[in-house]
Structure 1
Amino acid sequence: MGHYLVKVRLRPPARTGFPAPSSAERPPMTVSTWNIDASHSSVLFVARHMVVARVHGRFERFSGILRVNPEQPTQGEVEMSVETASIYTGSSDRDAHLRSPDFLDAEAAPKLTFRSTRIEPAGGASFRLLGDLTIRNVTQPVAFDARHIGTSKDPWGNSRLIYSARTTVNRTDYGIRWNKTLDNGGWLVSEKIDLELDIQAIPATA
């Protein structure tokens, strides 16, 4: 996979001496479709192991689309699909266990999906991305703390929208209840899992 540097352009809201146009005067918002560039994006997770240690992992195969107006990049819709069998933590034995019915049950539930339902502004380039997350064929509402990092052009002239998003879910809400009790009374694997998305999206026509 090639790597390259991109220049990020952050644009503050324009300041003018004229009042903002009324909703009746504003032109309709132009929404375009953007594809998530999986080769320059990541879907990561972090879990606690034996109470104190942090185990980091990622999913290596995923796709998604954004429907947004590039001039208002904190508004729009998001859909993502992740292949559960592509989980990777650096341990083949652990990865096999995570794919098993004890955890993701990748054979019976090959996809982990997210579909946004609404977006709430959180000031500046930040926003809350609310939607439905489906794991093991169980759907629960979640809220990501998200941010539009910027808009860039790559060396080939393609526009890119760059975002980050974070949330924490309880795996037992999705029927993932496997665990073992430690001698100190704690659990081998934490119930709470941190999810971290770093996304680059390119126009669907690129």
Structure 2
Amino acid sequence: MGLTARIRTRDGWAVSHAVVTVTDTTGSQVVRAEADGEGVVRDATALAPGAYTVIVTAVGYAPTASSALVTASGRAEVGTVVLARQGGGELPPPGPWTIDPAHSSVGAVAQHLGISSVHGRFTEFAGRIDISPGEASASCVEAVITSASIDTGNAMRDGHLKSADFLDVETYPEITYRSTGLTPAGSDRWTVHGDLTLHGVVRPVDLGLAYLGTGADPWGGTRAAFRATAELRREDFAMNYNQVVQAGIAAIGTTLRVELDIQAVQGTSLPQ
């Protein structure tokens, strides 16, 4: 006898803080039960045969209501209830996630001579993502990049990029990003608002973020994948060096496209 239900997110994760309320045809509450750590609700209250309304709520998720018919057995088997994030955007399960540099990339693309692109990447970086158990907009990310780890595949060019003309890695050894907010932009897309510190200058920078899903890894952990992009203007960060070649074409474009492919491991540490 009683009520059973499983509460899940759209990508199958348990919603452990969900509450299930059952009301009868008069609107009176007859059962109220909380989900356990696995998102499962079990309540032994005997229910009289008839029609009921089952309402599922959880902080940070849109509430849902459905009908349930209790037979002579006195059981209300609701099955699996899927909750959508408030505002429609999905994120990984709440808690800390650690960025895995070995399976992530931080890249930048600049235009060269107005006709082609130069691709570079930073090989040393670290970061953490904290997914809020409540409002998704309260989630946050912090990342630190080692400036001298820039790699464009050309040692002479890399040396110039590390000089005072560009990154000035001796004076500014780190590039940092700290988010200040999160706005949904679709079912699996977000705009991350944050402050980028680059070349000693702090500027607000928005990232267009796509959440690609979660899955198990070979080391017994759980990983989440993200892809993000942003555009930066070099002069906004006091990097004004350039050369003008024939016909007034700049050797190096003033706009950088930042491209991030991120894997994050659930928890505060990476597998050994």
TM-score relative to the length of structure 1: 0.85
Q: 1:120 to 1:73 in 2, by over 3 A?
A: closer
What residue number does 1:113 align with? Answer: 176
Shift, 1:21, TM fit:
2.9
Pick one of 164, 179, 182 that aligns with 2:242.
Answer: 179
Alignment of 1:94-173 (within 5 A): 94-173=157-236
Q: Could you report, residue by residue, the CA deviation over 1:88-131 in whole angstroms, capped at 9, with x for unpaired residues?
A: 00000000000000000000000011000000001101010110
SS of the equivalent of 1:151 reads strand
Give the conservation status (yes or no) of the 8 Å contact 1:74–1:126: no
Residues of 2 paired with 1:58 and 1:171: CA distance? Answer: 16
Give the conservation status (yes or no) of the 8 Å contact 1:74–1:125: no
Alignment of 1:35-46 (within 5 A): 35-46=98-109
Shift, 1:139, TM fit:
0.5
Shift, 1:77, TM fit:
0.4
Report the structure number with the largest CA radius of gyration: 2
Residues of 1 paired with 2:141 and 2:59: CA distance? Answer: 25
Residues of 1 paired with 2:133 and 2:263: CA distance? Answer: 13
Shift, 1:204, TM fit:
1.1
Q: Could you report, residue by residue, the CA deviation over 1:18-62 in whole angstroms, capped at 9, with x for unpaired residues?
A: 556385998xxx842211100000000000011111000100000
Alignment of 1:73-112 (within 5 A): 76-112=139-175
Task: Supply the AA of the counterpart residue of 2:228.
Answer: A
Residues of 1 paired with 2:155 and 2:60: CA distance? Answer: 59
Is 1:188 the equivalent of 2:224? no
Pick one of 57, 71, 74 that aligns with 2:120.
Answer: 57
What residue number does 1:11 align with? Answer: 11
The alignment of Structure 1 onto Structure 2 pairs a total of residues equal to: 192
- Listed as ranges, the gaps of 5+ residues in structure 2 are 1-9, 14-52, 64-92
What residue number does 1:21 align with? Answer: 57
Q: Relative contact order (alpha carbons < 8 A, sep ≥ 6): 1 or 2 greater?
A: 1
- Listed as ranges, the gaps of 5+ residues in structure 1 are 1-9
Residues of 1 paired with 2:11 and 2:207: CA distance? Answer: 23
Task: Supply the AA of the counterpart residue of 2:100.
Answer: D
Residues of 2 paired with 1:41 and 1:71: CA distance? Answer: 27
Give the conservation status (yes or no) of the 8 Å contact 1:74–1:127: no
